[in-house]
Amino acid sequence: MNALDLTQRPPRSPRELLPGLDLLMAARTVDKLRATLPGGNLGEYQITGFSSSLLNALEIAESSLRAAIARAASDAEIAAWIREHSNPERYPEINAKLEGRTIAERLNDPQFVRRYPIASRLPPESSRLDLLIADDAETFGA
């Protein structure tokens, strides 16, 4: 797949799914890793946080997925690779954990609030996945 420049547009929504893969954050993580390929630009985004949590839960090394992405011709190939290298039975548990993280859990963290100023304007019980969507919209326009 081609590299991405995430200074020009955000990665996909954390709720967007790869074809045939019911796994939150996977498409977004793929986009962020594509931005680390030669010619890409990660911009202000980072792999740490939700993407690294996803990779850890899947027991997939970042470097392995990056290599698979570099070789793949499509999202469907990447989704198949992820399914082959992880336990799909764990996906509902992983999704629940990702979805369950709220803004309230981090509002007392000054670094978090600096990174995501929009957090103070959203309901504290909002999912941090929704925070990422709102932050992307604010940064790049709806």
* Ramachandran bin of 2, using left for φ above 0, alpha for ψ from -120 to 50, beta for the remaining angles: beta
Give pLDDT, residue 142: 61
The Cα–Cα gap between 76 and 111 comes to 36
Global model pTM greater than 0.85: yes
Identify whether the C-beta of residue 128 lies closer than 8 Å to the C-beta of residue 50: yes
> Closest Cα partner for 16 from 142, 132, 135?
132
Assign 142 to helix, strand or coil.
Answer: coil
> What pLDDT digit, counting tens, does each position of 2-50 carry?
999 999 999 999 999 999 999 999 999 999 999 999 999 999 999 999 9
Please state the rounded mean pLDDT for residues 114-121.
95
Q: Is the dihedral of CA 136, 24, 83, 85 positive or negative?
A: positive
67 class by beta-carbon count within 10 Å (0-12 exposed, 13-18 middle, 19+ buried): middle
Name the token pair of 59. 């027991």
Please state the rounded mean pLDDT for residues 117-130.
96
Mean pLDDT, the chain, whole residue set = 96
Binning pLDDT at 50, 70 and 90, where does residue 112 land? Answer: very high
Please state the rounded mean pLDDT for residues 81-103.
97
Give pLDDT, residue 95: 98
Give pLDDT, residue 141: 84
Regarding predicted confidence, which is higher, 142 or 41? 41
Q: Is the dihedral of CA 4, 20, 81, 97 positive or negative?
A: positive
Give pLDDT, residue 12: 98
Indicate the residue type of 87: N
> What pLDDT digit, counting tens, does each position of 53-79 carry?
999 999 999 999 999 999 999 999 999
Give pLDDT, residue 17: 98
Cα 12 → chain centroid: 8
Give pLDDT, residue 9: 96
Burial 35-47, CB ≥16 within 10 A → b, else e:
bbeeebebbebeb
